[in-house]
Amino acid sequence: MNDITSPPLQQALAAPPEVPAHEQPERKASAWLGAPAHAEAAPAASDIDHMLHAWIARFTGTISPASLAMAFFDWVVHLQISPSKQQELLTEAGSRFARLGLYALCCAQFGRPPCAPVSPLPQDRRFDDPAWQHWPFNVISQSFLLNQQWWHRATFGVRGVAAHHEDVVTFTMRQLLDMAAPSNFIATNPVLLRHTMQTGGANVLQGAAQFWLDAMHHLSGQRPPASDLYRPGMNVAVSKGRVVLRNRLMELIQYEPTTPKVHALPLLIVPAWIMKYYILDLSPENSLVRYLVGQGHTVFMISWKNPGRKERNLGMDDYRRLGVMAALGAINAITGQEKVNAVGYCLGGTLLSIAAAAMARDQDDRLASISLFASQVDFKEPGELSLFIDESQVAMLEAAMWQQGYLDTTQMAGAFQLLRSNDLIWSRLVNQYLLNQPDVQNDLMAWNADATRMPYRMHTEYLRHLFLENDLAEGRYLIDNRPIALTDIRAPIFSVGTLTDHVAPWRSAFKIHLLTDTEVTFLLTNGGHNAGVVSPPGKANRHYRIATREHRAAYVDPETWMNSVPEQQGSWWPAWEYWLARHAGEMVAPPAMGQALGDAPGRYVMES
């Protein structure tokens, strides 16, 4: 089967030739990157630096020791010249020690005193079991919590420490404390101790054997065994459709209609390339694609290729040209419609925003509306991921990617796990290998384990020009060697933020109000970056807020917005679909399907 579309469709697309961005004369690496980040652009002598940094990255998990050292040096020096802060910490330590001593005395005398000196944070479930309320484990847990609280005070609020360094030091100390938490050890965890006594220690032997098997499976590069329960094309990514376009970077899937009539304007979904596309087409009951098709929308989805070494020099502009722009051309040709609604999720939303701004600059008005799910266009406050992004960290990541040609799946997954190490690392290890409780698998968890790589050049450009320099928000981002501005966008925008998002914080996503000059509807839903977006109707404990700012209306800050917009119960999908339908045109007969290059879910989603 050919990997190209039919000749008529090729002519209709009129897409730019597949020339990698680094080969285009107007986008030279030296001008775009501003530093010898690429092996091809750098002098041979710098290869030694890259090799040394890459070698160090192997042992540090791509964490820059220089970045950590600078952060702790900044904190220690300023703490040393802050006698009032030192006095405050000494007084606080004495007070906490006295409170713990009094609590321990009461526990020894009365068994269970009426109240503890400090309570865990609401999201900390490590000490929920009633066994933690009995001697001596109540004293052990209180000692840890008081110590944790004191270290937060010690690392936070030291005058003169740079904000980024303060965040890094606070985060690092939290990781060390979580590692040493009493819940991680049999002798200090009453639940583990009881289970070990009941099994005669068999749980330890079974856990060690299972840990060895999992470690060998991981080192072999195979998928986690549990994720085999959910495989694309079997019980996830099963919405019927066909691949209608394939190039070196993506496949475009067109889904079959399920209603006798459909909205005239088609819908393009641009997912993030950091993971497989099927988070939006999970099992049928959780599939956004199935929901949209059922509401009469003609849906197209980009499925990104999982890049390897030979894609190392594909850049951000390649993703724009061979992804968004090529998909728009194909959709225009297949459906005969000039206008297209577009959705971008996470990084896909950032890419869609870049493409939309470039199209607006060039008088290309094919986008009827733009929807952004948990996406950022301003990276001034990018959330906890900024802990891993400064000049030193980016240089370390560049070296690791320079050597292998891509960012490996385990490197990015490790960063996300560290952000929630208590839940995703330590508690999980305890449950799996000491309590012998296997992970409860679902479609979202299986998708989360099905990670992808990222090309060296693209990720370098993404980190430097978006995270470090914030070029997109500040009008310096170049497309075809000319800057683009988000204020040029005139298509109406629907932006979704998720309340507990640690990847794209909702207040950061809310900045779309400041950066565009068009009508913006903002919706805030409960949940995190992934679970908040996957919110089909009928699921319990779902709620959201929604409000529209008309074009040229006065700005409302996020706190005022939060306090003034009423909460509504249920899934946010129907509210968004109602908005989308208003921009999708009248109901017509479904368009013909494009020429099939294969059935959905396609070839690229299967690549590991």
- In 3D, which of 260, 282, 241 has the Cα closest to residue 602? 241
The pair of three-digit structure tokens given for residue 407, joined into one six-digit string: 């960012």
The one-letter amino acid at 264? A
Gap between the Cα atoms of 71 and 164, Å rounded: 8
The pair of three-digit structure tokens given for residue 17, joined into one six-digit string: 């030739």
Other Cβ atoms closer than 10 A to 475: 13
Gap between the Cα atoms of 274 and 188, Å rounded: 39
Gap between the Cα atoms of 340 and 334, Å rounded: 12
Catalytic residues: 346
Q: What is the 3-state secondary structure (H, E, C) of 52-121?
A: HHHHHHHHHCCCCHHHHHHHHHHHHHHHHCCHHHHHHHHHHHHHHHHHHHHHHHHHHHHCCCCCCCCCCC
Gap between the Cα atoms of 512 and 498, Å rounded: 14
What is the pairing mode between strands 454-455 and 543-549?
unpaired
- In 3D, which of 90, 142, 84, 91 has the Cα closest to residue 113? 142
Instruction: Give the torsion sign (CA, 520, 288, 545, 587).
Output: positive
Residue 523 forms beta bridges with which residues? 496, 546
DSSP notation for 198-225: HHTTHHHHHHHHHHHHHHHHHHTTPPPG
78-95 in b/e form (b: 16+ CB < 10 A) is bbeebeebeeebeeeeee
What is the pairing mode between strands 587-588 and 262-263?
antiparallel
